[in-house]
Amino acid sequence: MSKDLLRRLFRSKNALLGLAVILSVSLVAICAPFFSPHDPYEQHLLERLKPPSPEHPLGTDAHGRDLLSRIFFGARISLMVGFISVGIGLGIGVPLGLAAGYGGRWWDDIIMRIIDIMMAFPGVLLALVVVAILGPGLFNVMIAVGVWSVPMFARMVRASVLRLREEDFVQAARAMGCGSFRVALRHLLPNCIAPILVLASLRMATAILSAATLSFLGLGAQPPTPDWGAMLSEGRKYLRTAWWFATFPGLAIMLTVLGFNLLGDGLRDALDPRLRGVL
């Protein structure tokens, strides 16, 4: 990333705010054992469903576990799910997009038809289908959310490649004898980095939200894992008697997702304002 781009990025208040939120959540995730006032797994049945107090700043859950400590440890799971599932989406979607955009008509037709079929499942339904096949569990949720991201990355990279492939520098590379593989990897891919970065940030937000949704439905992380979605799922049972139990994990999800959304929007405006409306 050039200095100019960094300068533009740092001029965007939203992007800076997003970056600050993400860094804070990451710091909490890394240093969870040092920041947490209690063990997130330790149960104290006499302390169950206690409201926020100096001892337990965000209260306790139905097993008397400290909610703040569990939220701190939950940051690790949410970020891990986000990074791994976006990694799966990137790892499969980007090569597919490159092949569709630069591999010739035949590749384009086949890949885009597969993408269209994947896009025929509305919203979180595709992830739900994958979990239905593989069975519930955090690892399967990461795969499911990753698979759901594949068509987004593939379509976006294909669109960028279609725009780039007629450019002079690509023609020049071909004229100098570069093979298709080399042109795609060395010349086209580096020029798609801006939209990939923007989409990755926005997909991180969606991935964290979707994984929390699946965990909330009971299909993701299983107890006693301190997962935000799973905590909310348990907290809803006590909505009437312990409002804090379902409130704070939700706020943690919202804050983290907000960070990635703000960074994604800021990156888009700084790197390529033409993407506004596309991403």
Partner 1 sequence: MLAYIVRRLLYLVFILFAVSVLTFLMVHLVPGDPARVMAGIDASQEDIELMRKKLGLDLPLHVQYLRYIGAVLRGDLGESIRTGRPLAESLLARFPATAELAVISLLIALLIAIPAGVISATKANTVWDYLTMTTAVLGVSMPSFWRGLMLMLLFSLTLRWLPASGRGEPFLSWEWLRHIILPSLTLGLGAAAMLSRLTRSSLLEVLNQNYVTTARSKGLSERRVVMRHALRNALIPVVTMAGMQFGWLLGGTVVIESVFAWPGIGRLLVHSIFARDFPVIRGGVLLMAASFSLINLAVDLLYGLLDPRIRYE
Binding interface with partner 1 (CB under 8 A): 113, 116-117, 120-125, 128-129, 131-136, 205, 209, 212-213, 216-219, 229, 232, 235-236, 239-240, 243, 246-247, 250, 253-254, 257-258, 261-262, 265, 276-277
In the complex with partner 1, the residue whose CB is nearer, 157 or 205, is: 205
Closest CA to 25 of 153, 204, 149: 204
CB of 190 to partner 1, least distance (A): 29
Looking up tokens 């994947």, which residue turns up? 118
In the complex with partner 1, the residue whose CB is nearer, 211 or 271, is: 211
CB of 47 to partner 1, least distance (A): 23
In the complex with partner 1, the residue whose CB is nearer, 66 or 265, is: 265
Quote the CA–CA distance of 25 and 170 in Å, as a whole number: 41
CB of 127 to partner 1, least distance (A): 10
* Orientation of helix 125-134 relative to helix 193-216, angle to 10°: 60
Quote the CA–CA distance of 94 and 113 in Å, as a whole number: 16
CB of 27 to partner 1, least distance (A): 20
CB of 117 to partner 1, least distance (A): 4
CB of 119 to partner 1, least distance (A): 9
In the complex with partner 1, the residue whose CB is nearer, 5 or 217, is: 217
In the complex with partner 1, the residue whose CB is nearer, 3 or 240, is: 240
CB of 34 to partner 1, least distance (A): 27
In the complex with partner 1, the residue whose CB is nearer, 171 or 222, is: 222
Quote the CA–CA distance of 278 and 276 in Å, as a whole number: 5
In DSSP notation, 187-229 reads IIGGGGHHHHHHHHHHHHHHHHHHHHHHHHTTSSS-TTS--HH
Quote the CA–CA distance of 145 and 118 in Å, as a whole number: 13
In the complex with partner 1, the residue whose CB is nearer, 3 or 105, is: 105
Output the CA angle 30-207-52, nearest 5 degrees: 55
